[in-house]
Structure 1
Amino acid sequence: MGPPPARAPFWISWPPFFLVRLNKMNRIPVFVTACLLLLPSALVAQTPIADAKKAVSAEVLKFEEHVVTLSNPFFEGRVPGSNGMEVAKDYMEFWFKQYGLVPSFSDEKGNANGSWRQPFPLGGKVQVSAEAMQVGDRKLIAAQDFLALPIGGSGKVDAPLVFCGYGIRTGPDGFSNLPGDVDLDGKIAVVFSHEPMDDAGKSQWATARRDWSRRRLTRFKASALGRVGAKGLIVIPAPGVSDPEAGILDRGRATRVRSDAIPVMHVTAAVGKEILKDSGKSAMDLRKMSDAGEAMLPLQTKVSISATVELERTMAENVAGTIPGRGALKDEIVIIGAHLDHLGMGYFGSRGGSGKLHPGADDNATGAAAVIMLAERLAAHYKSLPPDQPARSIVCVGWSAEESGLNGSRFYVNNPIGKIEDHALCINFDMIGRVEGKRLKFAGTTSGTGMEAWLEPIIKGSDLELQTSSRMSGGSDHMSFMQKQVPYLFSINDLHADYHTPRDTSAKINCVDGVKVVDLYESVGKIISTLPEKPKWVGRSRR
């Protein structure tokens, strides 16, 4: 495919709902909203961009607009629980409404078709809700002098201090900062960050692959010290360490609250110096002692620490709209879905670039774009059917929390619309925007009875090179339906180097072939919607 067509600023094509949504979130002033809504279309039409767009089909531009919008940084990588994911759900819901779909789910009062959203619990995020620390008579300032860490536990501790080197009990070649019979019962342990170093401030345990070992991690130190009786832990930046981030206060992350965890405080080097001042040794002397091995020393400084660590539950939502069926087939359901979520800032699942925005253009703004476009096309198709034509209900859905384990689709199949046995087919898109050489995986063609026969002319008529012989079924949302013995069709392009990285951007999307995927599944949708007998589960696709 040649270079992508020139495009207008992405907000030019945003629907009015989106500008209003921005305004509600205080992202743009009211007067800017008004100005954009009143922007004359002629102003845009007079630019060279409009001439370039004339050479590209309206459907390709539509596909591109959806992908560009959903992968814009404003959407924050669409990780569940973020403001960006909320806007992404609003975006999909808006288009479902535009095309005349009805809400798919019951609302809180039990009214059928009362909600576009299906909420479900998604673990949670560990938060420090309260923290305090005092050294001598001085009350420290949170985030300036110290931070309580979410890997620690809750509690208030006012106890004697014991310096414990790096807090490492077992290391290579018999290394230990603690004697074998160590007992810290009723004490607060004070340790340096990192691990034993050389004179250059680099790890003694570095390898060709890693500058530092896992033994430097605070959670391991806290666990080991807690097991020998420590009631709290204070971590001081190690002096002379060759790490530019060593002195930065950082809470880090935790995924669960441990009932046996002790409060853990990370302090600045200045506070650390204050804590160590009565030891009779400089911080560097203590570090060198710690580098050599056993390094326990009682400290005279009076310190109290307090922390409250809680699990803040995260809720996620599937978003779905229904094209209502009719006649004898109306209670049978066809699912057309794609996961709407992605990795956010890449704190999980990233293949390179943790802490950086992951736009998720191919994965899976392209799949979401296909669902939105098929909602429009099939809703229009249903209006053209004869009034007495039986047709299945089509549920167009954006799954949530797929990246963290197919959570949205798994919740749905256990809490389905109607009966799971009445689901005729699950169609799933996951990365369809980087089609190369026309190749597209088209899995599931033998998962239901009779499917090969009615799919054959569709496959032959496609401009794509459909790889139906692939045994790959993929780790995506259709697998939740497979486990419930619902026939499926699944499409994905070849894996590429930008997968799960910050480089998965809209500029690399092959929108022309993306629309051909939509065309392919429009034909599938038209046939399965009125097929007299729904396919019966055969088993894991042989192809």
Structure 2
Amino acid sequence: MKHTTWLLALLLPFTHELNAQKKADRKTLGNLQAHITFLASDKLEGRRTGTPGEQLAAEYISTQMKLAGLTPKGDSGYLQTFPVSEGKLIATASHLTVNKTTLTPGEQFIPLPFSAQKSAKGDVLRDVNEPENIWLFNVKDFEMQPHADPLEIYRQNAREAAKAGATGVIFYNGDETPKEIQKWLSVAVDPLTIPVMWVNSETSKLLSETEDLRINMQVSFTAGRRTGTNVVGYIDNKAASTIVIGAHFDHLGHGEDQNSLAPNDKTIHHGADDNASGTAALLELARLLKTSHLQKYNYLFVAFSGEELGLFGSKYFTEHSSVAPGSFNYMINMDMVGRLDPTRGLQVGGIGTSPVWPALLQQTIPVDIHTTYDSSGIGPSDHTSFYLKNVPVLFFFTGTHSDYHKPSDEAAKINYPGELTVIKLVYTLVEKTNNMDKLVFTHTRDKQTTSTGSPRFTVTLGIMPDYTWQKAGVRVDGVTDNKPASKAGILANDVIVELGSYTIVNLEDYMQALSTFKKGDKTTVKVRREDSEKVFDVQF
């Protein structure tokens, strides 16, 4: 009996601690589900940068940071706004008059993105294209290949017309809608020497039914801008250095920015895993660290927007942080951490950015969690912006899946216990660094960069890389319809080993090679497909 009493005395504290941990885990799981369910709801309409849905998400994140007791560190409370360039907009000076009919810009006519900002006028015979006059092209006369890029077809015809002496070009009877043509204005393309317009079906009918036409046209553009919003909260432990934890919260909206892998589906892209999951993890780590004993460092929590457009939010933040970037100890980025799967496991990027990472991660991540590692500080998410400022980084990611960048990325598909596991791993890692000095930064494999510090891409192959792929080459995880890869015949599961004259060993090689091409360039892509190699001709 005495032995039993003694044993119970030993077990009681352990049992109490275990029950407390289970209760804490249940709270975190409940919070994760609430965060992701709201952020991925129809009400937020896909959280596209600069939209009311993004603003609702930012307000929610701000409220949660306030409830967690974080100090605001944005420009206006928790919020930090930043500009996003979105190509050309039709300026008010643009006009088109046919005989005595003045047409409406953006609806009845739209200047094409390669148009010169000039005016032209003349008396035009519909079926006669003569030098020193405006030319009319009936698009129904074109021989369009099934996978042809109509924008490129229009550009080629307009360029030839300019060489032949045309003073302006109007395309009519095209199959596109004004909404589709408006999207073309975001495409970066060099201007021609003459003004060029597309007209809708109503105006096409006017041009088709009138023999003698008096046309006056002028094209003028303004730079398109929208405003994105980061959300920033802070735990001030009066320390000299600060740990940054980040996740992007923006997503694709209805796919308006042409970054959907379901290009014909204009419904809401919910973005539960990408990246409501990382945002929810950010909020829960903020809550846990606020009440923790880990106080050697300050903590800065940043929910970025504009990631899907090209890391706009994190790039802006690293240039305009209210906490000096020189004081940053390291940055942890969580992007798509909601689909932990035993077969794919966990990927951790950036382990080469500080010499302490490999040993720390080995001590932190249990051996039963299949983990793949990437040394590079450059990657397809916001940690890249910090690495380029010489800050050690880690990138946590549970892999792509068939719902990536599609409306079907929904809250019901999140593995909540798996996400809790990721949160615990990040917390343990932070806990281990609490007893360490500020980390040493190391450069990983360098690549040619532009003056802004990152590769300049003007073209896309139209593939989704498998970021968990650890063998030589870049494995294709998805192919976007009507992009160069799709048109050439490249398929999912192909492994790209050469792009033009560049040998592709890893994702860095692929990104560097891609940055050397411009629209209109032709090259070859060599892939491994099962046990054979195939070479495809592509044109950007």
For 1:110-139, what per-residue CA distance to the aligned partner results, in whole angstroms no more than 9, with x for missing partners? xxxx64233333223422243543332344
Match for residue 536 of structure 1 among 411, 434, 440: 440
Match for residue 77 of structure 1 among 31, 35, 46: 46
For 1:19-55, what per-residue CA distance to the aligned partner results, in whole angstroms no more than 9, with x for missing partners? xxxxxxxxxxxxxxxxxxxxxxxxxxxxxxxxxxx9x
Following TM superposition, by how much is the alpha carbon of 1:250 offset from its aligned partner in structure 2, in angstroms?
5.0
1:222-233 map, 5 Å:
222-233=158-169
SS at match of 1:302: strand
Provide the residue aligned with 1:118 in structure 2: 80
Query: Does the C-alpha gap of structure 1 residues 258 and 82 become closer, same or farther in structure 2, counting only changes over 3 Å?
Result: farther
Match for residue 412 of structure 2 among 496, 502, 507: 507
SS at match of 1:435: coil
For 1:374-405, what per-residue CA distance to the aligned partner results, in whole angstroms no more than 9, with x for missing partners? 11111121xx56xxxx5211110112222222
Question: 2:258 aligned with 1:348, yes or no?
Answer: yes
Query: Does the C-alpha gap of structure 1 residues 313 and 456 become closer, same or farther in structure 2, counting only changes over 3 Å?
Result: same
Tell me how far apart the structure 2 counterparts of residues 157 and 468 of structure 1 sit (CA, whole Å). Answer: 60
Question: 2:172 aligned with 1:267, yes or no?
Answer: no
Following TM superposition, by how much is the alpha carbon of 1:218 offset from its aligned partner in structure 2, in angstroms?
3.2
Tell me how far apart the structure 2 counterparts of residues 365 and 422 of structure 1 sit (CA, whole Å). Answer: 28
SS at match of 2:171: strand
Tell me how far apart the structure 2 counterparts of residues 269 and 455 of structure 1 sit (CA, whole Å). Answer: 61
Unaligned residue ranges in structure 1 (runs of 5+)? 1-53, 108-113, 166-177, 198-202, 280-299
Query: Does the C-alpha gap of structure 1 residues 319 and 350 become closer, same or farther in structure 2, counting only changes over 3 Å?
Result: same
The structure showing larger relative contact order (alpha-carbon pairs under 8 Å, at least 6 residues apart) is: 1
SS at match of 2:62: helix
Provide the residue aligned with 1:289 in structure 2: none
Contact 1:103 1:321 in 2 (8 A): yes
Following TM superposition, by how much is the alpha carbon of 1:469 offset from its aligned partner in structure 2, in angstroms?
4.3
Query: Does the C-alpha gap of structure 1 residues 75 and 421 become closer, same or farther in structure 2, counting only changes over 3 Å?
Result: same
Query: Does the C-alpha gap of structure 1 residues 221 and 333 become closer, same or farther in structure 2, counting only changes over 3 Å?
Result: farther
Contact 2:70 2:235 in 1 (8 A): yes
Question: 2:223 aligned with 1:311, yes or no?
Answer: yes
Contact 1:276 1:301 in 2 (8 A): no
For 1:104-163, what per-residue CA distance to the aligned partner results, in whole angstroms no more than 9, with x for missing partners? 24x4xxxxxx6423333322342224354333234445677x223352454554323255
Q: TM-score, normalised by structure 2?
A: 0.68
For 1:299-347, what per-residue CA distance to the aligned partner results, in whole angstroms no more than 9, with x for missing partners? x322223454322323333221111122xxx131101001122222223
Tell me how far apart the structure 2 counterparts of residues 319 and 149 of structure 1 sit (CA, whole Å). Answer: 37
Question: 2:184 aligned with 1:253, yes or no?
Answer: yes
> C-alpha root-mean-square deviation of aligned residues, in Å?
3.4
For 1:57-109, what per-residue CA distance to the aligned partner results, in whole angstroms no more than 9, with x for missing partners? 3322211221121122332322222221122222211211111111224x4xx
Provide the residue aligned with 1:174 in structure 2: none
The one-letter code matched in structure 1 to 2:440 is K
Provide the residue aligned with 2:135 in structure 1: 189
Tell me how far apart the structure 2 counterparts of residues 247 and 374 of structure 1 sit (CA, whole Å). Answer: 45
The alignment of Structure 1 onto Structure 2 pairs a total of residues equal to 416
For the pair shown, the structure with the greater C-alpha radius of gyration is: 1
Tell me how far apart the structure 2 counterparts of residues 517 and 317 of structure 1 sit (CA, whole Å). Answer: 26
Query: Does the C-alpha gap of structure 1 residues 271 and 121 become closer, same or farther in structure 2, counting only changes over 3 Å?
Result: closer
SS at match of 2:347: strand
Query: Does the C-alpha gap of structure 1 residues 403 and 267 become closer, same or farther in structure 2, counting only changes over 3 Å?
Result: closer
The one-letter code matched in structure 2 to 1:266 is W
Contact 1:103 1:115 in 2 (8 A): yes
Match for residue 450 of structure 1 among 356, 360, 365: 356
Provide the residue aligned with 1:148 in structure 2: 110
Q: TM-score, normalised by structure 1?
A: 0.67
Tell me how far apart the structure 2 counterparts of residues 138 and 445 of structure 1 sit (CA, whole Å). Answer: 64
Contact 1:336 1:426 in 2 (8 A): yes
The one-letter code matched in structure 2 to 1:158 is K
Higher strand share: 2
Provide the residue aligned with 2:426 in structure 1: 521
For 1:265-310, what per-residue CA distance to the aligned partner results, in whole angstroms no more than 9, with x for missing partners? 433445434434465xxxxxxxxxxxxxxxxxxxx32222345432
The one-letter code matched in structure 2 to 1:230 is A
Unaligned residue ranges in structure 2 (runs of 5+)? 1-22, 446-469, 471-540
Match for residue 281 of structure 2 among 355, 370, 374: 370
